[in-house]
Amino acid sequence: MDTTATENPSYRVGDILRVTCPWTPAKVARVAGSHAFIVWPWAEIDPESRYRWDGQTAMPTDPDSLEWWQGVFHTEPKPWELSAGDTCLVGVPETLVRVLDIQRHDPPADRGRLPRPRITLVVAHVDQPDGTWAEEEGQGFVIDPNSSEPLTFELVSRAGR
């Protein structure tokens, strides 16, 4: 099964998904502390949100950080090689994740950007460095399968098969 973010397949806990997103040019707004702040190329600020998202996404500049490992979006060059004003590419190289949980939001979740998610997937990389499935609290990360990013999901293995 191959599906884009605009479709809504029935995901199951335990499913293994291949996630990709085409590399897209983006601007580095600033580098501060341990993050490079990327002007998100697919951003749409939610004007009715209680949050004041500025259209930027922080990418960790420490390749050894847990934060770098948790997530699917990456930059080329790597965030630790970027400076304010640089242009980079942001996207998702082919990545295998396991669905740990499925969260439904009614009303849709307010995250500061549009569209507001009705469903989010809590996932973990199949190849976690410690070999676990990251089922402990805080070890997974969230993906919105219907976000504005042009994510593609391919079902690699169905849970229960």
State which residues form the domain around 149: 2-157
Query: How far from 46 is each of 28, 52, 150, CA to CA, in Å?
Result: 21, 9, 18
| Residue 7, pLDDT above cutoff 50 | no
pLDDT at position 138: 58
- Give 19-65 pLDDT, tens digit per residue: 999 999 999 999 998 999 999 999 899 999 999 999 999 999 998 88
DSSP assigned state of 66? H
Contact 71, 95 (CB under 8 A): no
CA angle at 48 for the pair 8 and 153, rounded to the nearest 5° = 20
- Listing DSSP states for 93-152 in one string gives EEEEEEEEEEEE-SSPP--SBSSPPSEEEEEEETT-TTSS---STT-SEEE-TTSSS--E
- Give 84-125 pLDDT, tens digit per residue: 999 999 999 999 999 999 999 999 999 999 999 999 999 999
Q: pLDDT-derived band of residue 137, with 50, 70 and 90 as boundaries?
A: low
Residue of 143, 94, 144, 102 whose CA lies nearest to 10 = 102
Give the bridge partners for 122, in sequence order.
101, 142
Q: Global pTM?
A: 0.83
| Residue 133, pLDDT above cutoff 60 | no
Residue 56 structure tokens: 């930027």
Give how many domains the chain has, as a whole number. Answer: 1
